Structure 1
């Protein structure tokens, strides 16, 4: 038997389930993730940036699946073999990551089917509070690392480190970069770097305060926003905060 997971807000293409379930014709496949798409991304302030982000995520997942297995699925649409369901703890935030990784641990593949498409309308929930929740879940995912170390799964482990762990380090790298640059202002070369950083963060500020800012300004704002969310996200994850449910508008 196959169990399919989806979000209440997701709209599935007519052939999405058939495409997704077809992955299980391969007995090595224990779970399969579908393609997440945003409908009408231009309809909200951050929709285009979110759409760009998910297209990048799609590229990464496609490469991971072609080489071995994806690291986590999207809650909009994924499926597993019923007998492999790992019963995640109630404290788990990103169960669409934990469930596939624990199936990987059992020796199965988690594939990515880009023809099984789930759509979601762009809306203003795609902001800071949502990213805090995601970052808290991403930090919580670190405790699943032993599942990829032993039994050894070299490629999924590499995907996890490069796709998940390095991403968590980016906000701290941005802080170190800004502070170290400030301490080195006496050197002309670092003055130019400081001016470049200042221009970047000015673009971030403009993207935040101007509702109809051009995409060139909104992309830096989106990048900094999702990384700034890591700090409170890690704090909540360490505190074990559980009341981080989705907020719909």
Structure 2
């Protein structure tokens, strides 16, 4: 009985540890999902700000309106902040490095165009085409990074779902094991109760038997004593 209980407790402990590990893995995967979503948001914000900077720079080249210049400078600062956040958050990713490099190249070329427009130079068609090619390359790299992050997100979600499903299975196994141990304990207690009851019955029967034997011996001794007394009196 003790060995069975010890073995059962060991199984329960092992199952609990496995359940904890599976749940931890699921939570870790969910944390990675949240982090990947944050990275995706940063990348998308950079894409939006890059498009705004391109539109503003073209507007300034056409109108020479100082308001466009102020807006471009503010947007360029935001873009550099975005790039700094992305570089700090997403490391060891070749696609991210290319994306950041192209974004910086595009902003630098926009700034050159802004300075030329400020000096009153006419924007050449070749410059516009070159700027468009850089932005097209940036857009392609953005899509590649987006696909990578989306795939990573899907992998993490699947891992999280798998971990929680395994946790459910482990929980069911734990419940079944606990039920089996409970049934074993109840069965063993019933066996011990029946055994104790049988032993008590045997002890009671043996006690009654001894009492009868003592009573019989006492009666025999009493009869013998009476007989001896009568014999002495007769003599």
Determine which structure has the larger strand proportion and give its number.
1
Larger Rg: 2
TM-score normalised by L of structure 1: 0.21
Higher normalized contact order (CA 8 Å, seq sep 6+, divided by chain length): 2
* Structure with the larger helix share: 2
